[in-house]
Amino acid sequence: MHIHLIAIGGTGMAPLACLLQAEGHRVTGSDGPLYPPMSTLLAAAGIVPFEGYAAAHLDPAPDLVVVGNAVPRTNPEAVALEALGLPRLSMPEALARFFLADRQPLVVAGTHGKTTTTALAAWVWTDCGQAPGYLVGGLPLGLPASFARGSGPRFLIEGDEYNAAYFDRGPKFLHYRPETVIFTSLELDHTDLYPDLASLRAAFAALLALVPASGRVVACADDPEVRALLPAAAARVVTYGLAPGADYPLAAPPEPGPEGLRLRLVDPEAGEVELRLPLWGEHNVRNALGVWAAARGDGISPAALAAAFARFPGVRRRQELVGEAAGIAVLDDFAHHPTAVGTTLAGLRTRFPGRRLWALYEPRSLSAGRAFQHAAYREAFRQADRILLAPVFHRQRLTAEELLDLPALAAELSAAGHPCRACDSLEEIEATIAREAQAGDVIVAMSSGSFGQLPLRLLAGLREREEARL
């Protein structure tokens, strides 16, 4: 079958293209200019996309067109496929049709923690010999790629609540036929699609209702919004959390160290279990507990799980240490929401105790740059010693009333003893770091986009400083 993917370079579309190619389909695609890692992923699979969009890319007509969720109906190829009446699917529909029919999908869903939880699950099931299929929205370290067909019964999927396509405004995760759901959290996000919390609750309730009575919902008991939706599930509910009362709680507070966290959890069958997790922050403790609970439901032994957890190499752009130069550590993180900013900074506090912490943040998504987040950002950034704010990425799409007031936020943080500057450009951020960063500092760049490759640019500048002093 000839399958054409419009916007083939997306974080879900490129892995899907590679999976389809490996199944023997003829795969073509189109997108704007592509960059690593997706460009290298497609090249390794022998897929050479068209650069740009044109109706001619559908001549001769493919058997099927898969449309990425960022593609508007005015895209030249979307216009052409509608005019020609070609069969079309969204990315989640295609994944379900070609890869989930004979599997037991485990869907990781929630506002926060999806990528790390899915990557950890892919690592654990693989390390424990389960041969799962998986599709992760980020880049897991230590695995061959962010996707695998697998031969075991499980297929692990990062379940995004964002819309599926221009012709399907519902959430992607409703297409994934979940047998098990790990439900991490629920907080208002993606306000361009979900104007209020009620609409977001309805989407997640619909997901839980899809899980069959024979399946499982593995839910974070620490989140009151998650708990409130559990009656929507017909399946067995298993809970996890930091506090007593969950089915899988901690026996004692996490113990941070230079190599990660030491955890003592209570397993309903095995009793108290000690394990080491090479991650930091309470949010990652919850991610780990969710994976542990789901894996135990699949019959994986505590000993095998503990060994796999200890070997987990992490995920790119999740508290990822890009490098260190001139005595300054530079990290990259995907944080895109005030809650994610706060948990990332809290985790780095435990990882780098006593060091001055710089938070560099780009409000990249449409929700991230909205004024209603102002108070939450003010609270989240209090955990940093120095803060530099990049311009709101989608400021042209927001009205003056909707737009987050970065100068006001910076003034409030500075007045509270957390020096903050609203910068006009990435170059201003670079210049500030070059001028003011000192040996011993820790710098984390946070954005849901590329952030102009800022972490690599900063590291290069610090290495030049280091070499100049030799």
User: What's the rounded mean pLDDT across residues 391-398?
Assistant: 89
Q: Which residue, 460, 454, 434, is CA-closest to 393? A: 454
Amino acid at 239: T
Over 70: is that where the pLDDT of 470 sits? no
Q: 412 pLDDT band (50/70/90 cuts)? A: very high
Of the residues 66, 89, 112, which one is the last residue of a structural domain? 89
User: What's the rounded mean pLDDT across residues 412-433?
Assistant: 96
Tell me the two tokens of residue 198.
């009620």
Of the residues 49, 68, 89, which one is the last residue of a structural domain? 89
Question: In this structure, what CATH number is given to the domain that contains residue 339?
Answer: 3.90.190.20
Same domain flag for 167 and 49: no
Same domain flag for 161 and 229: yes
Give the C-alpha separation, 103 to 178, whole Å: 10
Same domain flag for 117 and 71: no
Same domain flag for 306 and 330: no
Of the residues 89, 117, 140, which one is the last residue of a structural domain? 89
Residue 315 counted as domain residue: no
Same domain flag for 348 and 305: no
Same domain flag for 327 and 284: no
Residue 94 counted as domain residue: no
Question: In this structure, what CATH number is given to the domain that contains residue 298?
Answer: 3.40.1190.10
Instruction: Pick the more confident residue, 243 or 61.
Output: 61
Number of neighbouring beta carbons within 10 Å of residue 428? 15
Helices 282-297 and 302-310 meet at what angle, rounded to 10?
A: 140
For the chain, what percent of residues have pLDDT higher than 90?
Answer: 81
Reading phi first (left if > 0) and then psi (alpha if -120 to 50, else beta), residue 114 is in alpha
Which residue range is the domain that position 376 belongs to? 320-468
Residue 11 counted as domain residue: yes
Same domain flag for 14 and 48: yes
Same domain flag for 262 and 155: yes
* Residues 95, 157 contacting (CB under 8 angstroms): yes
pTM score of the predicted model: 0.86
**Phi/psi at 267 (5° precision):** -95, 130
Q: 81 pLDDT band (50/70/90 cuts)? A: very high
Give the C-alpha separation, 86 to 88, whole Å: 6
Residue 254 counted as domain residue: yes
Q: Which residue, 375, 457, 365, 361, is CA-closest to 408? A: 375
Residue 20 counted as domain residue: yes
Question: CA torsion angle for 402, 406, 407, 412 (degrees, to 10)?
Answer: 100
Question: In this structure, what CATH number is given to the domain that contains residue 10?
Answer: 3.40.50.720
User: What is each CA distance from 387 to 47, 411, 438, in whole angstroms?
Assistant: 41, 11, 15
Same domain flag for 327 and 373: yes
Same domain flag for 423 and 336: yes
* Residues 29, 8 contacting (CB under 8 angstroms): yes
- For 274-318, the pLDDT digits (tens) are 999 999 888 899 999 999 999 999 999 999 999 999 999 988 888
Instruction: Pick the more confident residue, 134 or 38.
Output: 134
Residue 97 counted as domain residue: no
* Residues 367, 337 contacting (CB under 8 angstroms): yes
Residue 23 counted as domain residue: yes
Over 80: is that where the pLDDT of 199 sits? yes
Q: 418 pLDDT band (50/70/90 cuts)? A: very high
Residue 96 counted as domain residue: no
Same domain flag for 334 and 392: yes
Number of domains in the chain: 3
Q: How far is CA 51 from the centre of its chain?
A: 26
Same domain flag for 306 and 157: yes
